[in-house]
Each structure stands twice: as structure tokens, then as C-alpha cells.
Chain A
Amino acid sequence: MKKLLVLLYITSIIILTGCGDQALFDFLAESNIKVRIKGTYASNNPRDWDFSGIVADDDQDNYAAGADYPTKFMIDIAELKLNGDKFAHYREAYQASVLDTDDFFNGTGFVFENDNVFPDDKYTKIHVFLRKMIFNKSLSYSVDNDVWSDPKTTEVVFNEKDVNGYDFNQRQTFTYYDEIDDDKNKNIVFPLKIPLAEDFIYDVDREFVLEVRLVIKNFIKKYEWVDSDVGYTYFGLSDWLRDIRIADKYRGGNLFAVARVYVKGETVSVSGTDAVGGSYVVAIPYTEDGAIDSISNYEITQPTTSRPSGDYDTDEASWDAYEAEAEASYDKKLPPIATWTDDNTYTLTNVPTGKNYSLYYTNSVAAGEMPSSFTHIKNIAIDVNGNITTL
């Protein structure tokens, strides 16, 4: 008996020394990466909604007249993946009001649930699996011999409920060029592939913010489409880059996006008064080897030729040239840090420390357009303590 007690005593001492002090089950349940999804070009203080900029597409027969703007935007995201790792396999269906105060449109973003990722792996891209993107105030018509009649509010299923609206994401799964070139095997929204502005290496001891921005605010147009004898008017993304015509079934390739990661607590705000009103002010980080990243990597321009009028068989060379220019522009980078300025003053927030940046302001941009030319303001260096010096 005594031998038994001694044995138990020794065993428990051996067992109970050396227990850890971390909270592993908390680590499994929570994450020190916060994912924010924003619907703006700017990372902070985006431009206010310019509803007069929501125009009807130039190819429209204008069946829906009047200043009718959407009031609700809904987005259904199946999951997010970083370099193929299923770190955020939690479906999110988010409804935003089309107002400057909504988190999705005011520079805050909504939080997407996620897990941690592998430390010491270098993550370079994020895949966003977009199921639906819906604006309300869409109508359907009966179309008979080109006569549109009987307008009705369209309904679509969102988050397992019927809502008023039109899911324009189904129209942007492929580009029109992919459809006519019979290359409809690359779905460009499921997933939407966004390269990270800089490589991301996760660290268990630091808190990160992963910011994903889809350019939706002030980039909307009103479209028409006919599906045999049913006509639709709906709001979708601007065709500033790839021109859309009324008969196009697929209208993709106009969804611009950018993603960046920064460490919480290792950022500063950069302010200035040397911009020009009515433009975006952007901060371009220097590249990994310390060189200034060329601004031409960010100059997204419209194709120099207008969209060919013929079909692919008769006009193959023109179509190839048009698509090549559009694709080159689409593959360019968006500035990871940007803000809007109405006058010459600006403040860029959450700018990571320990890096150098080139600051630019863009050309004057109307709603429905992307900034395409940049004017250099200055270069700055931010040390690890957050001190900013002009270079």
C-alpha cells in the first residue's frame, strides 16, 4: 500500500511539472488575423457617393428612365483562401446600405470570420469565392418584338431569403471575350484571385489585419439585358475597362480588387497638404529590394481602341488586340494605400512603419472611372518608431 502511494506521488510530480502556460484551445478558436472586406478604392476616408455618376450604359435603350439609384447592396462570399489554404471557410452574406455611413462603404469594412494560417509560409495571393453580388432597384420586363412592357421588381435569393434585386455576379463570371473565343473555362469571380500587395508571413505573436478592397463604390452603372423574351434593367459595375453592349450575356472583367496585410500597432498616419482637390492620394511602397516601384505598374488605362463592332470570326485581330490591352490593364496593381481628398489636404491611415513610400495624387476621376495617371508628390521614409522623413 505504501509502495503504491509513493508511486502515485512520484508519478504526479513528474506529470504536473512542465505544463504549458499558453491557451492552445483559444488559439484554435480565435485568430490573430482580422480580415476586413471593403467596397472602396480608398483604404480610408473614401470619396462620398456621387449618385449623379450612376449613369445608364451608353448602349442602353433607356427603358427605365428616371434617377433611380440602388439603396441596398448584398454580397455573398463562400470562403477565402490564402495560397490555397482554407483559412476562412465560413460563408458570409453581408447586406450594406448604399450610403456613406455603411461600414462596407466608409473605409471600415466588415469583418470576415477566419482561422490562423501556417507560420513561416510566404503567402502571396488571396482567393475570394464570390457567390453573389446584388443591387436592388432592378426591374424585369416582358419583351415582345423589341417592345418592353410590364415592369416588375425582380427578386433573387440571398442568404436563403427572397430579396428585391438582381445578382449581377452571374453576369461577370466570364468576360465577353472569353465567351466569343470559346474559352469559358476560367471563372474569374469564383474565385476572384487577388495578389497581396506584399508577401505575408504569419507570426503567432503578432496581430495582423488583412484588408481586401473590391472597387464598388462610385463604380456603378445601369445596364439592360434581354434573355429571350424577358428584359432586365439592373445595376452592376462600370464598364470603363471592358465595354459592355446590350446583347452581351457575360460582362465580366471589370471587378478591380486589391489586398494588403499590415501588423496592428506597427502603423502610422501620414498627412499632408500638398495634393490637389478632387483626386485620390496614394502611397506606393518601395519593392522588396529597396527600389522605388514604377508608377507605370499602377497606371490602369482604358484600351486605346474602342471595342470591335464585328463578331470574333470576322474581326479576330481587332478583338485580340482589344482584349490584350484590357487584360494588361486589368493585371496592373491597385495602390495598397489610398484616400480621397476634396481639397489639398489628406491623411493616409494604417501605413506600415519600417518602409519607404512614394506618394502620388491621381488625375481627376469621375464616378464610374478608375484613376489612370499619377502625379508625384514626394518620397517618404517611415522608421520602425513611426518617424516620417521626406526623402
Chain B
Amino acid sequence: MNKFIKFIILFLIILFAVSDSFARRRKRGDYFLRPQIGVWYGPVTPVGPTKKEVNTNLGGGGYFRYNTPWEPLKLGFDISYQHHESDGINELFIIPTYANLIYRLPIQMPLNFQIKAGAGVAQVRIKPSNLSQRDPMFMTGFEVSFPAGKLLNIGLRIDYLMIYEEHNEGAKRNGHVVNGGITVFFNL
């Protein structure tokens, strides 16, 4: 756990150190192309084989996005927390941390539509066995938002996360969750 916290701190330091260089690339007047920082909150649902073991709950997280040289694409870094209980004594805790590429769809509307795909690592813990480990994960998602002024955007997002364990010897299944919710993010 200590190693993980150190990694997060290192990661955030690097992030803020480089954010300035990308902020300069925005088009004049398009506030959406600024670096963005946001939070989200909403239902987190196990799907597929994971659905049989644990139940839906509420979860949330935060993220940071900034531009790449290829304008419609942004690079995002996400971290979130979710805790699923069950009707019995099974419990599932997941802390996904991942990077993703976000593509804003070229639809000329007041709304912004974005699709995303990415990968990272999820810290998974289960009860009652009290086992925990880090697993690689992949994600894809969709987001729709509208600007409320120069600074603020409000949106809805839905992401599918696949926590990959089948590469381990003897493992027969992966974890599957769908995270949705309301998001609020700020153009920096």
C-alpha cells in the first residue's frame, strides 16, 4: 500500500510539472481545449460474471485531462474508488487508476461528446478472504457534457472497466464493472 501511495505522489508531481506546456496549445476561444480537472459520482455496477457475486453501489473519482498535439485527442488520468457489497459476506473494493485517450466527436452542438479508451492498474481487494493485489485493467467509455460558463462543465459519463486476471495461471474469470454518473469538471 505504501508503494502505491508513493507512486501516486510521484505521478501527481510529474503531472503538474508538465501541464503548463500543454495548456499553451489551445485554440483561442475554445475553453474546452484547456487542461481540465474534474470529479464524478454515481452508480458503479458489476456486470457479467462479477454481477453474480456482488451488488451495485455508489462510487466516485477524480481526473485530470490535458491536450495532446493531435487536437481532438486529450490525454486523461483517472483515479476512483468503489466498494461493492453482496447479499452474503462477499465484498469487493476496487481503486482503478488509469490513463486514457479521449476523443471529442466532431459534432457541432452546444454539447460535447467524447469517447474514451485506456488502460491502467486496479487495486483489488476482496472479503471475506482479505486478499488484495494490483491487476492490469482496460477501459472504454462515453461522456456527454455542456459548458456552464468559461470555467465549468457538467456532464454524464459511463465507463466500462475490465480488470484483467485471466493472464494469471489457473484464473478463469476477469472482473467487469460499469461506472456511471454525473461529472463536474473545470477548464484550467
- Interface residues, chain A, CB within 8 Å of chain B? 1, 3-4, 7-8, 10-12, 14-16, 18-29, 85-89, 115-119, 204
Contacts and interface: CB of A to CB of B under 8 A. Distances in A.
B89 interface: yes
Interface residues of B, number: 48
Given A27-B131, A85-B128, A19 B170 contact: no
B121 A19 contact: yes
Contacts of A89: 87-88
A86 B88 CA distance: 5
A29 B89 contact: no
B163 to A, nearest CB: 7
Interface string B156-177: 0000000101001111111100
B163 A25 contact: yes
A23 B134 CA distance: 11
A231 B121 CA distance: 68
A23 B170 contact: yes
A19 B18 CA distance: 27
B120 A15 contact: yes
Which residue, A1, A15, A89, has most C-beta atoms of chain B within 10 A?
A15
Contact of B124 (A21, A24, A29): A24
Which residue, A1, A3, A24, A27, has most C-beta atoms of chain B within 10 A?
A24
A309 B159 CA distance: 73
A25 B127 CA distance: 11
A8 B119 CA distance: 12
Given A7-B18, A25-B53, 5 more contacts: A19-B121, A23-B173, A24-B132, A25-B175, A27-B129
A26 B133 CA distance: 13
Interface stretch (B3-11, B32-40, B104-112): B3-11
Interface string B121-163: 1001111111111111000000000000000000000000001
A25 B89 contact: no
Contacts of A22: 131, 133, 168
Which residue, A16, A22, A204, has most C-beta atoms of chain B within 10 A?
A22
Contact of A14 (B7, B88, B136): B7
B178 interface: no
B50 interface: yes
B173 A29 contact: yes
Contacts of B169: 21
A27 B168 CA distance: 13
A51 to B, nearest CB: 40
Contact of A7 (B14, B90, B120): B14
Given A3-B18, A119-B129, A25 B49 contact: yes
Contact of B89 (A4, A85, A119): A85
Nearest to B21: A3
B68 interface: yes
A204 B10 contact: no
A88 B86 CA distance: 12
B28 interface: no
B99 interface: yes
30 contacts: A4-B18, A4-B22, A4-B68, A12-B99, A15-B120, A15-B121, A16-B136, A18-B134, A19-B121, A21-B168, A22-B168, A23-B171, A23-B172, A23-B173, A24-B124, A24-B131, A24-B133, A25-B165, A25-B174, A27-B131, A28-B54, A28-B92, A29-B49, A29-B53, A87-B128, A88-B88, A115-B128, A116-B129, A117-B128, A118-B130
B88 A115 contact: yes
Contacts of A11: 11, 14, 99
B69 A1 contact: yes
Nearest to B70: A1
A6 to B, nearest CB: 10
Contacts of A10: 14
B97 interface: yes
Contacts of A86: 87-89
Nearest to A1: B69
B159 to A, nearest CB: 18
A26 B174 CA distance: 8
A28 B134 contact: no
A22 B21 CA distance: 41
A4 B75 contact: yes
Interface in B91-121: 92, 97, 99, 120-121
A12 B120 CA distance: 8
Contacts of A28: 50, 53-54, 90, 92, 126
Contacts of B126: 24, 27-28
Interface string B48-69: 0110111000000000000011
B89 A117 contact: yes
A25 B52 CA distance: 11
Nearest to A20: B133
Contacts of B124: 24
Contacts of B168: 20-23
B171 A19 contact: no
B136 A19 contact: yes
A120 B132 CA distance: 16
B4 to A, nearest CB: 9
Contacts of B170: 23, 26
B135 to A, nearest CB: 6
